[in-house]
Structure 1
């Protein structure tokens, strides 16, 4: 009885939190199976916390606080980037203390964070001392209890990843559908189920990929530049950017690019362009493709280019560990990585290496090539958040963004001017729209801007063609092979949508 009362109150409180404050846009699931699924997730969460203390009221309160925190974080995340909390977000947590400047939260030393953390630790310690444990007094029974409960929870988690339980979970969650699944079964259940489905997909046998036959190199130099948070500033109410005139006059193809997210998740757009894989092909790995595949993509642009005789280089003026980029890029097929440690003397604009300086390094890499070159560059100057103190005398977030985007425009203009006499393909694209107060989720249907230049040759008149990120990736395959893709292949130009 001493366990049932706090247990029941905790489940009821968690249910009330999700009913009245939950992060969902679909009708609340009222069917009995949905309610049982929701309550089962709360119960598992409570038992997880109970393992650490064997104090029912402490475990119950911790369970309620955990659900409330998940809901609050999910609502805050949706307000910024239009998407609720997903299981793969927890894999990014180690980045937060290492790179706090990249996130919209204070560092752990800030009293707004340190105060609640210290208070929680002290409060938990006091509660731990005041509430009696339910562990048996007999040493042998105590040891058995201490081992049995965590072993039981681990066995349940193991069983959930294997049949028949995994089959039941797969039928309940056949494909990613965050809003519907959270409304139906609750956020905790959705987090657990999606993690299990992702794990099952990783363990499933992978069909052998279609053989990619090496071809003669296509264009001598192919440069792909991913522009951080780039959209035409006029779409945000900003001034005209000269780069847009250059694009409309010189690019063989340009337009809006539909990317997988708003305001964040650079790796989704990056993966889509580098692999040509659409979200429907990624299953539950769609939320973080690098976490799902680790860069093991036999048909990535870099791998195809390398097989066709290109040097493959990746240029990014930030830490190697962020998004595990160094490991992922090597797996994708890049031979040479030029990263943060190579930019210690480069000019910075705000906290990051300026785009103009980055463009100069790209040109240096092109000049040093020994043969055909495929180079992928990721900019950093305009990475959010845009906070007061970032730029001298400019505190407004939009004004900071517009200041940085001028540098982005100059970088692309400099690249076009410097490479204009050579046979070069240059593609630039925005990874996602900026997470600004004036650029809310839903802006432009997650569309950024892209442009494809074919320098040093006579080409067709500029053409606007709006694409998805993965369609752009498939289109670019034709630039690293002497023979254009034929109709029906995986690299044909995608139609407009």
Structure 2
């Protein structure tokens, strides 16, 4: 009876936290099936924590604490990037202690983190001593119970990814609809359901790229960290934007899949041309879903046409598992953090101007057609006090870095002007600044496409989505490239 009483209390308190804590933007659904899923998720959480202690009230307390933490984190995330917590966020947790400078979270050695953690550990130890365990008497029976409960939960999770239970889950969650599902069944149930749906979902594989004669001998694509026209933030004019508007064959706003974060979503969209709607539950982290296994990606198309394929990124290989993912995307060679050991840094990261110089050096050293994709790092957030000497305001720091991004663009345009080449630059997402909150510009950044050494109409403003830009870039990799036809001056 003590377990049942503890479970009822956990379910009631967890539901109250979600109802009054703002986990969803809409009222609770009262449909019986939705209510069952909501409370079923709370019960699964309780059973999960019960596995570790066999103390019902400790498990109930852990469930309530977990739901409260999920709701608070989700609200904080929504305030910064306009999206609630998603299941794929948990796959990114291992990189937080490895790269703490990339996050606003204090390090584990900070008293703000270490204090509550130590207090929680002490509280749990005390609770273990005060609440009796419900393990059955006898070593054999205790061991059987200790093994049976987690194995049962694991078997339930496995069953949900195949067979009748998986089909029922697919009918209930045919496609991701994050806000609606959180309102219907709650945040914990949505996290669990989406985590189970993603591995069970089978997306049709794109056909491999067909070989063709190479197009422009040099195709350079630069993904600019947190880049938007600074005038949109109230900053001074950027000379590179005037260059873009006067020299680029095409330029405009780029609608990207997220605000303030999730670089991999824009990166994947441009490299594959796949729209978010085609990714199913993999849209939240396409690298987690497919790991770079993209037969029709830009580097694979380029390689099929005789290009050397090169990825350049002045940061650690393990971040976002980029080295592994980019190799699977089809890049022959990677130039990454260790290759920039002596490069000048602006703040904590390798400067964009130095990165641009390395890109031009690779172009000059090429032995044949080259497809080069690069990701900048200088303007990666967070923009915190102490990042730049004499500049503590986040916006001032951002504007300092974006000016260097502009200088890099100008240098690349000048350096490629004597080549027959294509240069594309685009922002991966808007910066997560206090002056640039969710909803700003409808998640749009800026992009430009330059053509050198060949006749080109332009400049033309064509606003695009990130995946449409990826499809546009395919044409630069084969000889019979034709200019895009836009349905209007500002849409493609």
Into which bin does the TM-score normalised by the smaller protein fall? over 0.9
Report Cα offsets for 1:371-419 as digits up to 9, x if no partner.
Answer: 0000001000000000000000000000000000000000000111111
Report Cα offsets for 1:427-474 as digits up to 9, x if no partner.
Answer: 000000000000000110000000000023332120000000000000
Root-mean-square deviation (Å):
1.4
- 2:325 is the alignment partner of 1:338: no
Report Cα offsets for 1:194-228 as digits up to 9, x if no partner.
Answer: 01110101xx4x64533432011100100000000
**In the alignment, what sits opposite 1:410?**
407
Residues 440-459 of structure 1: matches in 2 within 5 Å? 440-459=437-456
Give 3-state SS (helix, strand or coil) of 1:263's partner: coil
Structure 1 position 493, deviation (Å): 6.7
Give 3-state SS (helix, strand or coil) of 1:164's partner: helix
**In the alignment, what sits opposite 1:52?**
52
Specify which of 227, 246, 251 is matched with residue 243 of structure 2: 246
Distance in 2 between the 1:411 and 1:32 partners? 58
Report Cα offsets for 1:234-281 as digits up to 9, x if no partner.
Answer: 000111000111001000000000000000000000000000000011
CA contact (8 A) 1:467 1:494 kept: no
- 2:367 is the alignment partner of 1:370: yes
**In the alignment, what sits opposite 1:471?**
468
**In the alignment, what sits opposite 1:199?**
199
Shift in CA distance, 397/172, structure 1 to aligned 2, threshold 3 Å? same
**In the alignment, what sits opposite 1:90?**
90
Shift in CA distance, 293/140, structure 1 to aligned 2, threshold 3 Å? same
- 2:125 is the alignment partner of 1:128: no
Report Cα offsets for 1:124-174 as digits up to 9, x if no partner.
Answer: 111111111011122232222112212221221111112211111111111
**In the alignment, what sits opposite 2:154?**
154
Distance in 1 between the 2:287 and 2:268 partners? 7
Distance in 2 between the 1:125 and 1:54 partners? 14
- 2:358 is the alignment partner of 1:351: no
Shift in CA distance, 228/347, structure 1 to aligned 2, threshold 3 Å? same
What are the ranges of 5 or more consecutive residues in structure 2 without an aligned counterpart? Answer: none
Distance in 1 between the 2:206 and 2:313 partners? 29
Distance in 2 between the 1:187 and 1:322 partners? 27
How many residues align? The count is 490
CA contact (8 A) 2:462 2:486 kept: no
Normalization by structure 2: what TM-score? 0.97
Distance in 1 between the 2:2 and 2:191 partners? 30
Distance in 2 between the 1:2 and 1:415 partners? 70
Give 3-state SS (helix, strand or coil) of 1:376's partner: strand
Give 3-state SS (helix, strand or coil) of 2:451's partner: strand
Report Cα offsets for 1:332-377 as digits up to 9, x if no partner.
Answer: 1101100000001001000000000110000111111000000001
Distance in 2 between the 1:393 and 1:58 partners? 50
Residues 38-187 of structure 1: matches in 2 within 5 Å? 38-187=38-187
**In the alignment, what sits opposite 2:259?**
262
Give 3-state SS (helix, strand or coil) of 2:389's partner: coil
Give 3-state SS (helix, strand or coil) of 1:415's partner: helix
Give 3-state SS (helix, strand or coil) of 1:282's partner: helix
Distance in 1 between the 2:379 and 2:120 partners? 36
CA contact (8 A) 1:471 1:494 kept: no
What are the ranges of 5 or more consecutive residues in structure 1 without an aligned counterpart? Answer: none
**In the alignment, what sits opposite 1:436?**
433
